[in-house]
Structure 1
Amino acid sequence: MSNDLTLRLMDTHAGGDVSRIVTGGIAPLPGSTVREQMEYLQRDADGLRKLLLFEPYGIPEMSVDLLVPPTDPQAAAGYIIMEVMGYPIYSGSNTICTATAVLEQGIVPKQEGTQRFQLEAPAGLVQVEARVENGVVEAITCEGLPSYIDSYRHTIHVPSLGDVTYSVAYSGGFYALVDATDLGFDLTLDEEDDLSDCAHRIVEAIQAERGFSHYTLGDVGPLPFLHFMGPVEQVADNFYRSRSTTYVHPGVICRSTTGTGTSARLALMNYEGRIQPGDRLETISLRETGFIGSFTGVHQEGPHQVVENTITGKSYVLAHSDIVVNCDDPMVECSGLQHIVSS
């Protein structure tokens, strides 16, 4: 009997960040919500994430999005996000890629012009707006999670770096926000390795010193993200631009600026009184790709000013493939995978 398993994938990227969309080969997961299904994978079936993000099938810089049937009747599809740091409940770049895959797969039929639908993330329902021109998905605009500043301009001593000033935002995960210029960076591609090393040191120091709690979610684990902020320039009325780089612990510099990183920037700019509803910020990555964050509103949640926002970007389809998983291969670990693969 063959000891092979087969998974069907659509590889995509948004802003350079590759999202591997799992479109077939996984059996229905237990759980009455997509959040509960994510928690099942995290607890009992982490083999899928490890398989597709590490050798010989992938690299940690990728993400994985598993398409699942929605549990909310308002949603066209559900999706579970997997990254090197684990299972984020939301991601802008992954949502842009998943929304594109849902259209390309015909789960939501393409319509010329602008169309709207909803997806179900572990964080809940996500509003999506797609712009289609001549059958091509030219742009996806998705909701960013409500974002706020948890800590403003704290200082921490980091070995070999000295005292570092940082703020912390929540935008789907907790982000340390640091000024790139203060740390000696111009945010160019040749600095990528040094940025990763610097971010690793800062995140390790913050994790060792303190934890963070969301006002409704409570403890969501150690701070996993750091965002390097370049100078902000105003390029038109109500439109700003900034070079930016997001780090995911441990060891990954994202190819895009990330949607949640852009949402975190909007939260900080609002906190500092530098933007108002209706303003937009384009974040530019090391690879000259960009996302546009739009500040759509603000409301109060206890002590927090919470920023409502959307993220706009474009996803490109890279490949359609079947991954053949040979469980006899000594480089492949199937113990956390076999029980969720459909027969």
Structure 2
Amino acid sequence: MNEGLSKVRWQPPENWLQVDTIDMHTGGEPLRIIVDGLPEIPGQTVLEKRRYFRKHLDHIRKALMWEPRGHADMYGAVLTAPVTPDGHFGVFFMHNEGYSTMCGHAIIALVKFALEAGLVQYPEDGLIRIDAPPGRIDAFAEMKGNRVVKSSFHNVPSFVLLQDKTVDVPGVGNIRFDVAYGGTFYAFVDADEIGLELVPQQISRIIDLGRKIKKAVVRNFDILHPFEADLSFLYGTIFTGKPKDGKHHSRNVCVFANGEVDRSATGSGVSARAALHAVKDGLETGKKLVIESLIDTTMDVEIADVTSFGPYSAVIPKVAGTAFFTGQHRFLIDPDDPLKEGFLIR
């Protein structure tokens, strides 16, 4: 660095908002974790805290997820105090359109962050207890020295809501789909059946079809969580297809929120797939599936247990993957900036 520039020390005015983040990725999917700069977020549950944030602090979501600080496919996490007596911390998730109910790639990254940043001391029982919007997430870490080399978690009960349904998608035709829940609801469509190739070069078509299918399903079918109205919505469309690597089970490409495309295999998505495969293919407890993403990264999923959830037969998925740190940032928001809340082109 130029010697003169190395001596420059600039401090923003006191009335500017400063937000500190740690950035990570899991399988290529970004995660921006807010670690400082937020006021106290009231609420007795994570969902109450999320409602408060949406009502009073949504400008921070926009500023950090949208351009120029983020981009159309950015993803974030807001850490909170635990809301259960034995919880280590709470979290809710945000993206370009608003807030999601569950995020597996974020949980995988947060396990690494929590242990390596000292937020959580490695528990004697090896169990990291995370309070999330759909309920308790039990997470685990595979350690090498003081580094987390792989994270895994037991998701909330996952189940099939709709099976082998068809819907007329304007401009596309009749599409066969399933809807399953893995902490949030997805419509699953076989990519081969609609002539869709799950490769990055087809990203525009993937987004277009994902949006159209989601809108058609929402327009024609009720998506209802058995206990919680805040969880009763279709989050996205997941296209499944043949793997690039013959040793893997399949490919998984998720289009969610406002046309976001998950770069990872989607932790809540593969959880829902475990429930689907249990119903449709008789997937047995403990049989591991390795599922690819759009960019060839992978997540593992298996059924850890079977249970029931309201009127549904359900499974407890175990999902595993790897995460990495990519940066740490202090974002500045100038109150006089006309674009202080960000913008999106897409």
- The residue correspondences of 1:3-152 to structure 2 (distance < 5 A) are 3-109=15-121, 115-152=126-163
Residues 209/314 of structure 1: CA separation in 2 closer, same or farther (3 Å cut): same
Query: Would the aligned equivalents of 1:78 and 1:121 in 2 still touch at CA under 8 Å?
Result: yes
Residue of structure 2 in register with 1:268 after alignment: 276
Could you say what secondary structure the match of 1:224 adopts? strand
Q: How far apart are residue 243 of structure 1 and its match?
A: 1.1
Residue of structure 1 in register with 2:6 after alignment: none
Residues 85/170 of structure 1: CA separation in 2 closer, same or farther (3 Å cut): farther
In structure 1, list runs of 5 or more residues that go unmatched: 335-343
1:316 maps to a residue whose letter is F
Deviates more, 1:13-22 or 1:95-104: 95-104
Counterpart selection for 2:251 from 240, 243, 253: 243
Q: Distance in 1 between matches of 2:332 and 2:257?
A: 29
Q: Distance in 1 between matches of 2:156 and 2:44?
A: 22
Going by fraction, where is strand more abundant, 1 or 2? 1
Residue of structure 2 in register with 1:168 after alignment: 179
Residues 114/197 of structure 1: CA separation in 2 closer, same or farther (3 Å cut): farther
Query: Would the aligned equivalents of 1:110 and 1:135 in 2 still touch at CA under 8 Å?
Result: no
Q: Distance in 2 between matches of 1:224 and 1:76?
A: 27
1:33 maps to a residue whose letter is T
The TM-score with structure 1 as length reference comes to: 0.90
The TM-score with structure 2 as length reference comes to: 0.89
Residues 233/148 of structure 1: CA separation in 2 closer, same or farther (3 Å cut): farther
Q: Distance in 2 between matches of 1:155 and 1:74?
A: 44
Deviates more, 1:313-322 or 1:60-69: 60-69
Counterpart selection for 2:201 from 180, 190, 197: 190
Q: How far apart are residue 303 of structure 1 and its match?
A: 3.9
Q: Distance in 2 between matches of 1:267 and 1:85?
A: 27
Q: How far apart are residue 280 of structure 1 and its match?
A: 1.4
Query: Would the aligned equivalents of 2:252 and 2:266 in 1 still touch at CA under 8 Å?
Result: no
1:182-215 CA-partner distances (Å, limit 9, x unpaired): 1112312211111111111111111222221111
In structure 2, list runs of 5 or more residues that go unmatched: 1-12
- The residue correspondences of 1:193-272 to structure 2 (distance < 5 A) are 193-218=204-229, 220-231=231-242, 241-272=249-280
Q: Distance in 2 between matches of 1:263 and 1:233?
A: 21
Query: Would the aligned equivalents of 2:101 and 2:231 in 1 still touch at CA under 8 Å?
Result: no
Counterpart selection for 2:312 from 300, 304, 314: 304
Identity %: 28
Aligned pair count reads: 330
